Amino acid sequence: MSKSTTYKMRAECRTDVSRMMSVVQFSDLNIKPITIDGREFPDVEVTFDSKMDLKEIISKLNKIPDGHVMAESINFLEHYDGTRRDL
């Protein structure tokens, strides 16, 4: 059986995360609100473990309506910097 990898990404809102949860196999999901100067925004950062590889996850995220922020920002936890990449 393959080993789990920890990923981190941004999402525009918790609804996007709920949609992700229906298409990505995951465990140990953690959702943290993004705050700037003490103000909480609808955006969230999400950390989770998955046995799926990064390309497969990105492919699934790209199929989610308005899932582009997740698809463009996901990375391995140790490489995550919060920026979005062109896909």
pTM over 0.85: yes
Q: What are the pLDDT digits (tens) for 28-74?
A: 999 999 888 988 888 999 999 999 999 999 999 999 999 999 999 99
Which H, E and C letters describe the chain, residue by residue?
CCCCEEEEEEECCHHHHHHHHCCCCCEEEEEEEEEECCEEEEEEEEEEEECCCHHHHHHHHHCCCCCHHHHHHCEEHHHCCCCCCCC
Backbone angle region of 75, left / alpha / beta, with phi > 0 → left and psi within -120 to 50 → alpha = beta
| Domain containing residue 55 | 5-79
Residue 1 is predicted with a pLDDT of: 53
CATH number at residue 70: 3.30.70
Tokens 């943290």 locate to 32
Q: What are the pLDDT digits (tens) for 20-36?
A: 999 999 999 999 998 88
Residue 57 is predicted with a pLDDT of: 97
Q: Is residue 35 part of a domain?
A: yes
C-alpha pair distances (Å), 66 with each of 1, 15, 24, 60, 79: 32, 10, 16, 12, 24
Residue 17 is predicted with a pLDDT of: 96
Q: Is residue 87 part of a domain?
A: no
